[in-house]
Chains A and B, each alone.
Chain A
Amino acid sequence: MKKIHLIVFALLFYHGINAQDKFLTKEGYVSFFSHSLVEDIKADNNQVLSVIDTVTGKIAIQMLMRSFMFKKALMQEHFNENYVESYKYPKATFSGEIINFSDLNEENDETEIIGTLTVHGEEKEIRTKVNVEIREDGIRLKGDFNVDVADFKIKIPSIVANNIAKTIKVTFELDHKPYK
C-alpha cells in the first residue's frame, strides 16, 4: 500500500519542473460486472485517481473499494465486509505502462497497457487492450478486461456461489486533465 503511494507521488512530483508532462484525474470511472444465471451484479466507482507521465507512458491508478456503489445495499455490505475485506485492504491499485505511448495519435489510438493490479492484497499481472484518445487538454483511456475472482484470494461462500461469476468483467474510462 505504501509502495503505490510512493509511485503516485513520484510520478507527480519527482520531475517537478516538467509538471506539464503529467496528466491526472480524480474522477476516473471503473466498474465491474458479474453475470450469473441467478443475477447480474454491477458496481461503479467514479472516484478513481489516475496519473499518467506522458514522457515515459507510465501510469499509476488508485481507487477506494468502499467507493464502489452497488444497486443493493446488502451486496455492497457483503462486498466490503466479507469478500474484499475493505477494512484490511481499503484500496485497489494498478501500476504499469502504456505501450508505445509516444507513437499514439488520432489515427493510431489502440495500444496495450501492462502492469500489476493489486486487489485484496493480491498482485496479478494484467495485459489488456486500451483505447487512448489524446487531445490537447486531456488523455482519455478506455477499455475492459476480465479477472478471475480466485486470483485475488477472494472467498465466496458456497451459499451464494451461484450468484457470483467466477470471472468478473472490469471496465474503465479515465479522462485525465493536465496536472497543474
Chain B
Amino acid sequence: MRNRTFKIIFGFLLLAALGLVASIYYYNKPHVDVQKSEATYVLSAQNLIDQYRNNETDTDKKYSETVIQVKGKVFEISTLKGNSVITLKDEGLESSIICHMLPEDNKRTLQFKKGDEINVKGICTGYLMDVIMVRCTLVD
C-alpha cells in the first residue's frame, strides 16, 4: 500500500516537473534562426518592392514576419550600432530594401561594393519608404 502511494506521488511530481520544464522552455524559446531556416519565398529585390508599391496590405500579409530571400544590387553598405546595413537598390529607383544584418555577417559584408549582385536572407518586417528586413544573412 505504502509503495503504491509513493508511486502515485512520484508520478505526480514527475508530471509537475515535466510541465515546469516544458513551460520554461516555451517561455524561453529562441528567435527564428535565419541562418538555418529555409526561405519561404525567394524573389528579386525589385519584384518585392513592386509588389509592396502595388498592394501594400496584401503584400505585407504575405511576406511580413516571414523568412525571405531577395536578390538585388548593393547600393550602399553602412553600419548602425556595430551592425552592417546593406541597402539593395537599382540605380535610378526611389525605393530600396534595407537589410539589417546579423552581427555574425559583419566581416562578410565588407567584401562587397556598390553594384555587386548579392542574395540576402532575412525576416521581412514591412514597408515604410523602403522594404525593411531584419536578422539578415548573406547567402552564397
Interface stretch among B2-10, B111-119, B129-137?
B129-137
Residues of A within 8 A of B125 (CB): 47, 64, 66-67
A64 / chain B contacts, CB cutoff of 8 Å = 125-128, 132
In the assembled complex, A154 has its CB within 8 A of some CB on chain B: no
B100 touches A8 (CB 8 A): no
Among the 9-residue stretches A68-76, A99-107, A111-119, the one with 4 or more Cβ atoms under 8 Å from chain B is A68-76
Residues of B contacting A156 with CB < 8 Å? none
Residues of chain A lying within 8 A (CB to CB) of residue B93:
none
Question: What range describes how many residues of B lie at the interface?
Answer: 20 to 34
CB-CB under 8 A from A91, the residues of chain B are: 126, 128
Decide if B134 touches A49 in the complex (CB within 8 Å).
Answer: no
B110 at the interface (CB under 8 A from A): no
* In the complex with contacts A26-B128, A26-B129, A66-B126, A73-B30 CB distance below 8 A: yes
Check B80 against A66 for contact (C-beta < 8 Å): no
Whether the pair B129, A8 counts as a contact (CB closer than 8 A) is yes
Measured in the bound complex, the distance between the Cα atoms of B81 and A86 in whole Å is: 26
Q: Is A96 an interface residue (CB 8 A)?
A: no
Kindly report which residue of chain A lies nearest to residue B129, judged by CB atoms: A49
B134 touches A72 (CB 8 A): no
Tell me the nearest residue of chain B to A44, going by C-beta: B81
Are B132 and A67 within 8 A (Cβ)? yes
In the complex, residue of chain A having the shortest beta-carbon distance to the beta carbon of B83: A46
Cβ A26 vs Cβ B126 within 8 A:
no
Given known A27-B80, A72-B28, A74-B27, contact A47–B98 (CB-CB < 8 A): yes
Contacts A67-B134, A80-B65 given; indicate if A46 touches B80 (C-beta within 8 A): yes
Nearest residue (CB) in A for B132 is A47
Q: Are B128 and A73 in contact (CB under 8 A)?
A: no
When distances are taken between beta carbons in the complex, the residues of chain A under 8 Å from B107 are: none
The docked-state distance in angstroms from the alpha carbon of A91 to that of B31 is 22
- How many angstroms between the C-alpha atoms of A64 and B131 in the bound complex? 10
Closest chain-A Cβ to B134's Cβ sits at a distance in Å of 6
The answer to whether residues A69 and B30 also contact, given A27-B80, A46-B81, A87-B61 and a CB cut-off of 8 A, is no
CB neighbours of A27 from chain B (8 A):
80, 85
Binding site for B on A (CB under 8 A): 8, 26-27, 46-47, 49, 62-64, 66-67, 69, 72-74, 76, 80, 86-87, 90-91
